[in-house]
Amino acid sequence: MANKLPKGWILSTLADVGSITTGITPSKNIRAYYEGGSIPFVKPPDLGRSEPVIQASDNLTEEGFKKAKPIPINSIMVCCIGSLGKIGIAGKELATNQQINSISFDEKKVEFKYGYYYALTLEEYMTFVANKAVVSIINKSAFSNFPFPLSPLPEQRRIVAKLDSLFERIDRAIRLAEQNIIRAQQLMESVLNDVLEGLDCVRVKLQDACIINPLKSEVKGLGDIEVSFLPMADLNEHQIDFTPKQTKKLTEVYTGYTYFKDGDVLLAKVTPCFENGKAGLASNLVNGIGFGSSEYYVLRANPNILPAYIYYNLTTFEFLLLGAQNMSGAVGLKRVTKEFLFNYKIPVPSLAVQEDVIKYFADQTTKVSALTARMKIRLAKLGALKSSLLDSAFKGEL
The 10s digit of each residue's pLDDT in 142-157 is: 999 999 999 999 999 9
Alpha-carbon distance of 97 to 121, in angstroms, equals 22
Could you tell me the residue range of the domain that residue 362 belongs to? 152-187+350-398
Q: Is residue 192 part of a domain?
A: no
Q: Judge whether 146 lies within some domain.
A: yes
**Residues 249, 252, 253, 254: what is their CA dihedral angle, to the nearest 10 degrees?**
100
* 172 and 207 belong to one structural domain: no
Helices 351-393 and 153-197 pack at an angle, to 10 degrees, of 180
Whether 195 is in a domain gets the answer no
263 close to 300: Cβ distance less than 8 angstroms? yes
DSSP 38: -
Say yes or no: 20 and 118 in one domain: yes
Last residue of a domain, one of 330, 348, 366: 348
User: Could you tell me if 174 and 208 lie in one domain?
Assistant: no
For residue range 302-351, list pLDDT tens digits in order: 999 999 999 999 999 899 999 999 999 876 689 999 999 999 999 999 99
Angle formed at CA 148 by CA 2 and CA 381, multiple of 5 degrees: 95
Flag whether 193 is in a domain.
no
pLDDT per position in the chain (398 positions), as tens?
A: 545 789 999 999 999 999 999 999 999 999 999 999 999 999 999 999 889 999 999 999 999 999 999 999 999 999 999 889 899 999 999 999 999 999 999 999 999 999 999 999 998 889 888 877 667 889 999 999 999 999 999 999 999 999 999 999 999 999 999 999 888 888 888 888 889 988 999 999 999 999 999 999 999 889 889 999 999 999 999 899 999 999 999 999 999 999 999 999 999 999 999 999 999 999 999 999 999 999 999 999 999 999 999 999 999 989 999 999 999 987 668 999 999 999 999 999 999 999 999 999 999 888 888 999 999 999 999 999 999 999 999 999 98
Q: Do 283 and 386 fall into the same domain?
A: no
Domain harbouring 236, CATH code: 3.90.220.20
**Is residue 248 situated within a structural domain?**
yes
196 domain-assigned: no
> How many folded domains does the chain comprise?
3
Query: What CA–CA distances, in Å, run from 318 to 46, 196, 313, 315?
Result: 31, 11, 9, 8
Any domain includes 175: yes
Nearest to 208 by CA among 63, 30, 70, 342: 342
Check: pTM over 0.85? Answer yes or no: no
In this structure, the answer to whether residues 210 and 339 fall within a common structural domain is yes
120 and 261 both lie in a single domain: no
Q: What is the pLDDT of residues 237-254, one digit of tens each?
A: 989 999 999 999 999 999
Q: 208 and 123 in one domain? A: no
Same domain, 10 and 79: yes
For residues 159 and 259, membership in a common domain is answered with: no
- Whether residue 113 is found in the same domain as residue 170: no
Give how far the C-alpha of residue 393 lies from the chain's centroid of Cα atoms, to the nearest Å: 30
Residues 131, 9 share a domain: yes
Is 6 in the same domain as 146?
Answer: yes
